[in-house]
Amino acid sequence: MDKTFENTKKLNWRGLICEYGEFLPVTPGARVITLGEGATPLVHAPHLSQIKGADVYLKFEGANPTGSFKDRGMTLAITKAVEAGSSAVVCASTGNTSASAAAYAAKAGLACIVLIPAGYIALGKLAQALIYGAKVVQIRGNFDRALEIVRELGDSKPVTVVNSINPYRIEGQKTGAFEVVDQLGDAPDYHFIPVGNAGNITAYWRGYNEYLKAGISTRLPRMMGVQAAGAAPIVLGHPVVNPDTVATAIRIGNPASWSGALGAKDESGGEIFAVSDEEILSAYRLLARYESIFCEPASAASVAGLLKTPVDPGSSVVCVLTGNGLKDPDTAISQIEVPTAVDADLDAISAALGL
């Protein structure tokens, strides 16, 4: 067992590879690189449940070690890179993949290179990649261009690509679906999820199918993928050359797992549709104010999607909240009026409070 968890047996959680190893391509005896990811809360959402006349739950992936769902895939991708004898990993990222890759690479003692679109990555994510010690290259170009270059680097240099074109990423991420079933007792009727590069919707659909096949669940959810209107290639049916949205995490115009997303939608009888930036920000504020969950804007896209979609009365709904709101303080601050400073005395404070 990883040293970190030797003294936490009471909590009985050893990270995804140990907990779900029988469903993952893990080599017995391999060195496992984990930060204790997974076991994220599935929070019941009374306000949303009332609005929708359904039973709504929020899977808060911002509770993972680096604050996003990316840790699920990264524990496996980095474990496999170590097993293969790799000494360096590389990824393109809108921020969360780079934060996660940097953390797990540091844990494993691997070098980490990340390519990010200059000016379009939330401050907290940039801070994470840097403080974990990654070599960060900010490119004058968007995520899609960064991923093209990363593919070329993977083909021509001795580096392991840890974007979701690396199959271990999607394998690890499917554990999100396992946890939803383990927490709810069965699969929900609807599963709402933000779609950017489309790896996560592909992974959840695989996870739900594997649990059904294993007899752990009895049914499959309808997969409801949500894109930002300014970055909605799958909805439009063609790549978007200049994607644009306040939800920078899903500012992607040519998703790598496009066919996986379509497969999930078609096989589950679900939908992939778009929400506007205004709808995303409205859901983002609602989640913090009424459900006490501070997620990042891209994550709120799943709830924005739920809010505009009719669901069957009394049905069960899971929305994945993919990342932590603390990653993007600028957007949070832009949504509220920040109070000005007052003198540190009772009268001034009472006056400011209108008391």
Which residues lie near ligand F0G (CB under 6 A)? 68, 70, 93-97, 194-200, 249-250, 296, 298-299, 322-323
**In sequence order, what are the beta bridge partners of 227?**
274
Query: What torsion, rounded to 10 degrees, do the Cα atoms 290, 293, 299, 302 define?
Result: -40
For helices 70-83 and 96-108, angle between their N-to-C axes, nearest 10 degrees: 40
Nearer to ligand F0G among residue 18 and residue 320 (C-beta)? 320
Residue (217 or 324) nearer to ligand F0G, CB:
324
At position 88, the amino acid (one-letter code) is A
What is the closest distance, in whole angstroms, from the C-beta atom of residue 82 to ligand F0G in the complex?
21
Residue 94 CB, nearest approach to ligand F0G (Å): 4
Work out how close the CB of 34 gets to ligand F0G at its nearest, in angstroms, rounded to a whole number: 20
Q: Residue 194 has which token pair?
A: 């933000």
- Minimum gap (Å) between residue 152 Cβ and ligand F0G: 18
Please identify, using beta-carbon distances, which residue of 124 and 199 lies nearer to ligand F0G.
199
The neighbouring-strand residues paired with 272 are 225
Closest CA to 196 of 93, 61, 126, 113: 93
Nearest approach, Cβ of residue 64 and ligand F0G (Å): 11
Q: Which residues share a beta bridge with 191?
A: 223, 318
Give the number of C-alpha atoms closer than 13 A to the C-alpha of residue 210, restricted to the C-beta side.
Answer: 19
CA distance 306 to 51: 10
With b for 16 or more beta-carbon neighbours within 10 A and e for fewer, the 224-255 pattern comes to bbbbbbbbbbbbeeeebeebebbbbbbbbbbb
Alpha helices in 109-142 (DSSP H): 123-131
C-alpha 89 chain-centroid distance: 20
- Quick one: 55 or 230, whose CB is closer to ligand F0G? 230
For ligand F0G, the closer of residues 23 and 69 by Cβ is 69
Nearest-approach distance from CB 272 to ligand F0G, in angstroms: 11
